[in-house]
Amino acid sequence: MTAPATLPDAPRDRLVRSTVALLISNATGAVLGIAFWAVAAHLFVPRDVGYGVAAIAAMTLLASIAQLNLGMVFPRYLHAAGAQAGTMLRAGYVASIVLALVAGAVFLTLTGHHDYLKSGALPTLLFLGAVVLWVVFTIEDAALIGLRATFWVPVENAGFSALKIALLPVFVVVAPRSGVFYAWVLPMIVCIIPINYYLFRRVLPSHVRWSSGRSTLPSPRAVSSMLVGEYVGGLAFTAIVTIPALLVASTLGAAQAAYFQTPWLAGTSFDFLLYTFAATLLAESSARPTAAVATVRRAVRFAIWLLAPGLVVLVVGAPWFLRILGPAYATHGTRLLQALVLALPFMAINVTYVTYARLARRVRRIVAAQVTLAALILGLAAGLLGPLGITGAGVAFLVGQAALAVVVAPSVIRQYRSRRMSPSFAPEATLIAVQAGTEV
């Protein structure tokens, strides 16, 4: 599988450029995402907003099961694949799309009727199509990150977010019950077509030409092990983000799900921002392994400098931000949002720990950290929603992140202070640090 010669370091450092592009993408998506739910809250009754929340959560959960966590695999390995990048990219697309169809069919067959999904053949097919679209929409960004071509990612995501807001007034008239869901899904088609044309016709061929037949992939066994570990870890992360919305809808009702969605989206957006830093760090460290130590430290400092002010602003301003949606949304969601934002420092420690593990291909650490976190948060949320309402999900998120951070913080500090990448790296790790001509 591995080509005779390995890839040299990429010629330019793109850490800041790629990170800024993705931060713009995430920030724009978060702001316009909140605007989407604000407009939906004013146009639709809470019950129909709740139906949209639950349907989108189900779609996202199924798509995340199907996408094999390629959102982290592609940034880690796609550049290193070199001449084999096309094979890896196409295999990822095909496997994820097939798995999306299977997961969607199993879900619809085995879980019975759901109030948030209309019955009938056409709504069923539309839901399955939406799951496939979300898979492609997600992994295409990961492919662009892995090939260090992030310029169009914020343009795509801003266009998607703006289009779905624009469609809400249309669907409140033509399909009020399912309008929130359809307004979310339809813009994906508009975005997927041009982005994939650019990816497969411009970016991928350029990278294959640059590689000149070379590759720096580890052994097939090592890649397979990482894929399995990333898949399990990715399922745990997806469960943290999506299952609480389903728990709220089933336990507290559709109206409470509507009040829950915007604070949860805003709070967990920080999680996505942190993983944005992680994705660019993985891509740059894999593309320029001899500069990996400096890359890690720069990424950590940049994240602290950028995200710390946002924490303060959101904790203090939470009730005023949510009042934009209406007094009821502020009353029910303020404490939830504040608890989620207060978890940011602990989230940062945990994401850094998992990122170090990804760079070193320490698969067990990735799985252990993410599965433990999911078990803590979801277990606590299930128990706290009853006595605390939707605030219980925020308390569960904060306590779970803090508990794991206390355990992994010593390892993170030790690795950050080291002048070299950790000597406990897995054998055959693609990422190495080179000093004085010696691999260490």
The letter for the amino acid at 376 is L
- Please give the pLDDT value at position 235: 83
For the whole model, what pTM was predicted?
0.73
Which of 129 and 234 is assigned the larger pLDDT?
129
- Please give the pLDDT value at position 433: 33
pLDDT-derived band of residue 289, with 50, 70 and 90 as boundaries? confident
Burial 272-301 (b: 16+ CB within 10 A, else e): bbbbbbbbbbbbbbbbbbbbbbebbebbbe
Backbone angles phi, psi at 79, to 5 degrees: -65, -45
- Please give the pLDDT value at position 381: 92
- Please give the pLDDT value at position 89: 94
**pLDDT tens track for 408-419:** 999 888 888 776
**pLDDT tens track for 294-341:** 777 877 887 788 777 777 777 777 777 777 767 777 777 788 888 888
Mean pLDDT of 118-138: 88
pLDDT-derived band of residue 427, with 50, 70 and 90 as boundaries? very low
pLDDT-derived band of residue 170, with 50, 70 and 90 as boundaries? very high
Which of 133 and 124 is assigned the larger pLDDT?
133
- Please give the pLDDT value at position 1: 39
CB 170 within 8 A of CB 183: yes
Judge whether residue 9 has pLDDT over 70.
Answer: no
Judge whether residue 260 has pLDDT over 60.
Answer: yes
Q: How many residues does the chain have?
A: 440
- Please give the pLDDT value at position 7: 67
- Please give the pLDDT value at position 437: 32
Distance of alpha carbon 246 from the chain centroid: 18
Find the distance separating the first CA and the last CA of the chain, reported in whole Å: 24
Mean pLDDT of 72-77: 83
Judge whether residue 265 has pLDDT over 90.
Answer: no
Q: Considering the chain, what percentage of its residues have pLDDT values greater than 70?
A: 90
From residue 238, how far is each of 172, 235, 308, 391, 403 by CA, in Å? 29, 5, 25, 20, 19
Question: Which DSSP helix (H) or strand (E) runs through 357?
Answer: helix 344-360
- Please give the pLDDT value at position 75: 86
**pLDDT tens track for 18-57:** 878 887 887 788 788 878 988 998 898 888 888 888 888 8
- Please give the pLDDT value at position 5: 52
Burial 226-235 (b: 16+ CB within 10 A, else e): bbebbbbbbb
pLDDT-derived band of residue 430, with 50, 70 and 90 as boundaries? very low
CA dist 326 and 341 (Å) reads 21
Average pLDDT, the chain: 82
**pLDDT tens track for 184-229:** 999 999 999 999 999 999 999 999 888 887 777 777 777 777 788 8
CA dist 258 and 249 (Å) reads 9
